[in-house]
Amino acid sequence: MSFIFDYYNYWIVVFLMMAGFYIVISANNLVKKIVGLNIFQTSVFMLYISMGKVTGGTAPIVVEGVTQYSNPLPHVLILTAIVVGVATTAVGLSLIVRIKQAYGTVEENEFENKDDAI
Amino acid sequence: MLEQHLAALPIILPLIAAPIALILGRTVLSWGFATLVSGLAFILSWQLLSAALSEGVISYAVGGWAPPWGIELRVDAANAFVLLAVTAISTLVLVYSKESIEKEVKVANHALFYTAHLLCLAGLSGILITGDAFNLFVFLEISSLATYTLVSLASDRRCLTAAFRYLVMGTIGATFILIGVGLLYMKTGTLNMMDLAVRIDAYDSSRTINTGLAFIMVGVSIKLALFPLHMWLPPAYTHAPSAVTAFLASTATKVAVYVMIRFIFTVFGIDHVFVDMGMGLILMVLAVVAIFKCSYMATVQSNVKTILAYSSVAQIGYMILGLSLVSVAGLMASMIHIFNHALMKGALFMAVGAVFYRVGSVDIKAFAGLGRKMPLTMAAFTIAGLSIIGVPLTAGFVSKWYLVTAALEQGNWIVAALVLIGSLFAIIYIGRVLEAAYFQKLPESRKSENIKEVSWLMLVPMWVIVIANIYFGIDTSLTTEAASSASEWLFQTNNMLENSALENNVSEANVQEVSS
Amino acid sequence: MAEFIDLVLLAMLALTALRIIFLKDLFAVVMLFGIYSFLSALIFVNLDAVDVAFTEASVGAGISTVLMLVTLAMTGRKEKQSTHSTLLPLFVVLVTGAALIYGTLDMPPFGHPDNPVHQHVAPRYIEESPKEVGLPNMVTSVLASYRGFDTLGETVVVFSALIGVLSLLGVRRKKKKDLESGLETHSVLHVVSKIIIPLVILFALYVQFHGDFGPGGGFQAGVIAAAAFILYALVLGLPKAFAVVGPKFLQWMASFGVLLYASVGLYSMYKGGHFLDYNKLAADPIAGQHYGIIIIELGVGITVFAVMLNIFYAFGSQAERSNVQ
Amino acid sequence: MDFLDIVSSMLLLAGVFFGFSGAVGLFRFPDFFTRVHAASVTDSIAAILIIGGLLLQTSFDLNTAKLVFILLFLLVTSPTASHALAKSARHGGLLTLAESSSQDKQESAK
């Protein structure tokens, strides 16, 4: 039983990552692909934050009388990664807007047919 | 003062220059500024290489915090060598791009183009120099975002879908690397690569570490376009502006190959990757398939840029092949090929860009009769093409020679033969273009067009690279010296790490004995 | 109790993700993504990552969702039936997932204080950073000082995003002046936003300068300040917002923020330290760290604000143009 | 258990009840406007009750002030958001249930 409690967090996070990954590679609509990419990345962030948690610890801000803090390093890394994620999202979405203007559609199979191969 | 900060400057310089280039705004100003900065970065990386060759490793603690608490920059012969190639190509491409970009990119976007180029250069230098696994991810994203921008700047609408596909694949790759680094961090508690290497050995056969290794390998393979994860590369290289293709084809994937080398040799250790996980055989098979499949694909394309893009994927196969031989000679062949391939592809794509500048098309039919009309450009294409094929007295011959020798050294006749057969495909696809250029006549319909040689601003950088192709084919002292000391160094660190890990194990065992 | 909350939130996340896979209405997909982000922000709070939760709530659930909605306004809200086979993606995902599950089997148990993560590098941050850097918020210390180079990189990533969006969409002023823009007939919105916007900007400043002591810092402050201006632009229309801060000015601001950050590094080099070595900024190392962190956080805040607002401008003016046509 | 604790938990429970009933209304009501109505009205009262309950748990320090600010903010923004939603639905041509049924009758009379 303790085995499950030790790991259920990670397992659900793995499930979420794979849900996001599945949306990215299976979706035909480009906006949905970007949503999937975001879900994929957000779930990876959860993996990092989960490993930084100490049971019984508090947020890593010094408070009188507290000795057990959670690990601040994963938090820093994920702060960076979140911002990287939104940067990619913004560029991806503006590409989608331009694709819509150029092809009139944002469905992958439809604009693929509009050009020759490659 | 400069010497003290030599390791950090090649990153900081373009990083600071990028926002300034945006503020300058005007086409000529931002072009001149970007070229100047890139040239300075080239001089710095030249000094860095000579310092690394004489002193060994240069470590620089950013913020004054000692590693593993702070971020460490770590320069050795291997990454200084790749950095030299990257900054050199970047400078030449920038000189070349002024006219090429004027033709292919809207005027309003010129300053943005040079800013993005500088950001990409900063990102690539950062990836090469940093000694911190997470910092590598950050720089990877800087260079990737700049690359998506650069690819999407072309006027053809197909560049948009190519850039989007690149963005999705690239982000998946980066996220895989993030997962891999996370798993390593979870097991070791550190992000510094040297520190990781020492601590990973203590957990050698842990499933978490192995999964982390697999995710990093897959992520990096997407970035370096290893077969079968190369699908983003041909459209991106075909539809990007010519100057961008010349820059990316000769730098971005090479940097990713270096990242793979670095993770294998200085973080995980050869024994772990090749002996325990059996990655050598996987890589070798993928490399051979890449060489044949993509060389074949190159022979049946009609767009010359696509031909060269597929050829790039095949050439990456050669680099990975050298790596997978797991010997000093094989690694050295890979390092030499990274450098030489940058020279060949840079020259080829520049020549193709010059053709596009004058003719407005890069279809193989558009090359008909250009041997007369644009003699200097086509001569450059010919020499660089011979270099791809591996004709003696060119740089390509040197890399193939070392690769074949490395394979024969291990008695691996099959690989040696495959390398030589692979070169036959190169003869076909380069030959098709040359045949059109020299033996077909200019079609009547285009006689009236005023097709002539491009200006010196495009020819000079092109010919500098072409001459470098010949120079490094005759005088191999620089490349072989740098590459051999790089690969020896990589093997040394690997051995050193394994020894220190052994000592660690011994000392830990001692501690346990004492405590028990 | 914390574990129970965690379990419930994770289950809700899983449901949200599953729903997103099968929904064809993209508007609902994007709203569900916003919910997903908020739920994960809650999980971050529950796992003690308050700074991360703050950022995820403002960036993931805020800016990303807004940008996706604007995009949907231009591209249409229905996903068409896919002709792709779903078998290959499913296979790839299953293999990847299996590899990850295999990897979890040797993972250190969740939340255990003896895990390697809590033993090696982090103890120094927890024990020494209040003395070495002098800030109670360890996340800010690590972010701005120990790993200040990462944060510089991250600021540059944001800057690169601006370059990408500008080159793709561009921000051009509209020519037709008579076009109805904003929500001019919504008098309630006008009144309320006039009250709210100054408060939001005040809050952004609080987050900017209080980041040393509590959750917050340049990123969150920049995003919140940008949100205030985005509200303004939504209610009063883009032209009025351009009159307050124009796109060209924002480009300069974004560049200035990056340069401000980097110049701290250059100044510390000039003072004889390594790049971004704040100890050298003042005679007393702790004071130097303080100055350094305040300035670089300001640089981050300025860049993030300028970039986020400018990206919104780019999307907004694009949407208005497509409405005109 | 303290008297304040009992009051505060009753407030919290009441807040949860209203929040929950709002959610049920959101799912069960027939058209857009009734749904917005259910969600917005119960939301405001739930916010007041829950934050009121939380206020009793604080010891009149900075946290109290922060909670009061959050409450004020919610009281201003959440009705405004519902108003904006309903108004733009109206602007987009959406009819209430009564209107659309009377329209149906007219059409069937023709």
Q: Which chains touch B (3 or more CB pairs under 8 A)?
A: A, C
Q: Is the pLDDT of residue D1 over 90?
A: no
Using only the alpha carbons of chain A, give its radius of gyration: 20
Q: Which of B138, B186, B211 sits opposite C117 (nearest CB)?
A: B186
Averaged pLDDT, D32-54: 88
Q: Is the pLDDT of residue D106 over 60?
A: yes
**If phi over 0 gives left and psi between -120 and 50 gives alpha, with beta otherwise, what is residue B393?**
left
Domain boundaries, given as residue ranges, for chain B: 278-474
Query: Which pLDDT belongs to residue C173?
Result: 59
Query: Which pLDDT belongs to residue C260?
Result: 93
Query: pLDDT for A14-60, tens place per residue?
Result: 999 999 999 998 888 899 999 999 999 999 999 999 888 888 778 88
CATH value at residue A79: 1.10.287.3510
C55 and C153 in a single domain? The answer is no
Query: Which pLDDT belongs to residue C178?
Result: 43
C157 and C303 in a single domain? The answer is yes
Most B-contacting residue of C112, C149, C278, C293 (CB-CB within 10 A), to test interface: C149
What is the residue-level pLDDT of chain C in tens, covering all 325 positions? 777 888 888 889 999 999 998 888 899 999 999 999 999 999 999 888 889 999 999 988 889 999 999 899 888 878 777 666 778 888 888 998 988 888 888 888 887 888 888 888 888 888 888 888 888 888 888 888 889 899 999 999 999 999 999 999 877 655 554 445 556 667 888 888 888 899 999 999 999 988 778 888 889 999 999 999 998 988 888 888 888 888 889 999 999 999 999 999 999 888 888 888 888 888 888 888 888 899 999 999 999 999 999 999 999 888 877 765 5
Query: Which pLDDT belongs to residue B516?
Result: 37
What is the residue-level pLDDT of chain B in tens, covering all 516 positions? 567 888 888 999 999 999 999 888 888 888 999 999 999 999 999 998 888 888 878 888 888 888 888 898 988 888 888 999 999 999 999 999 888 888 888 888 888 999 999 999 999 999 999 989 999 999 999 999 999 999 998 888 888 989 999 999 999 999 999 999 999 998 888 898 888 888 877 666 688 888 888 899 999 999 988 888 888 899 999 999 999 999 999 899 899 999 998 888 888 877 777 777 778 888 888 998 999 888 998 888 888 899 999 999 999 999 998 888 888 888 888 888 998 999 999 999 999 999 888 888 888 888 888 888 888 888 999 999 999 888 888 888 888 888 898 888 888 888 888 888 888 888 999 998 888 888 888 777 777 677 777 888 888 999 999 998 888 888 888 888 888 887 887 777 766 665 655 455 444 444 444 343
Domain boundaries, given as residue ranges, for chain D: 3-109
Most C-contacting residue of A28, A42, A58, A64 (CB-CB within 10 A), to test interface: A42
pTM: 0.92
Q: Which of C163, C262, C276 sits opposite B115 (nearest CB)?
A: C163
For the record, the structure tokens of A15 come out as: 């499930």
**89-108 of B, contacting C, C-beta below 8 A:** 108
For the record, the structure tokens of D42 come out as: 């119960």
The answer to whether C266 contacts chain B (CB < 8 Å) is yes
Question: How many pairs of residues across A and B have Cβ atoms under 8 Å apart?
Answer: 79
- Kindly list the distances between the CA atom of residue C159 and the CA atoms of A90, B284, C166, C239, in Å, as whole numbers in the listed order: 11, 39, 11, 24
Instruction: Give me the number of domains chain C comprises.
Output: 2
To the nearest whole Å, the CA of D107 is away from the closest chain C CA by: 30
Expressed as residue numbers, the domain containing A79 is: 2-114
Nearest-angstrom CA–CA distance, D51 and D47: 6
C93: in domain: no
| Alpha helix stretches (DSSP H) within chain C | 2-22, 26-46, 50-55, 65-75, 87-104, 116-119, 122-132, 138-141, 148-168, 187-210, 218-236, 238-244, 247-270, 285-324
Q: Which of C298, C41, C292 is nearest to C155 (CA)?
A: C298
- CA B97 to mean position of chain CA atoms: 19
CB contact under 8 A, D77 and C192: yes
Cβ A10 vs Cβ C107: under 8 Å: yes
Instruction: Give me the number of domains chain A comprises.
Output: 1
Query: pLDDT for A67-116, tens place per residue?
Result: 788 888 999 999 999 999 999 999 999 999 999 888 888 887 777 777 65
Domain finish residue from C81, C96, C117: C81
Residue type, D12: L
At residue A18's C-alpha, the angle toward residues A17 and A21, to 5°, is 90
The answer to whether C316 contacts chain B (CB < 8 Å) is no
Query: Which pLDDT belongs to residue B269?
Result: 78
Expressed as residue numbers, the domain containing C35 is: 1-81
To the nearest whole Å, the CA of C302 is away from the closest chain A CA by: 14
DSSP conformation class of B236: H
Cβ C293 vs Cβ C145: under 8 Å: yes
The answer to whether D105 contacts chain C (CB < 8 Å) is no
Using only the alpha carbons of chain C, give its radius of gyration: 23
Nearest-angstrom CA–CA distance, A116 and A102: 15
Nearest-angstrom CA–CA distance, A95 and A102: 10
Cβ B189 vs Cβ C120: under 8 Å: yes
DSSP readout, C133-171? T--SBHHHHIIIIITHHHHHHHHHHHHHHHHHHHHHT--
The answer to whether B41 contacts chain C (CB < 8 Å) is no
**50-89 of D, contacting C, C-beta below 8 A:** 73, 76-77, 80, 83-84, 87
SS3 C78: strand
Helix (H) or strand (E) holding D15: helix D3-28
CB contact under 8 A, A96 and C75: yes
Query: Which pLDDT belongs to residue B135?
Result: 93
Q: What percent of chain D has pLDDT over 70?
A: 95
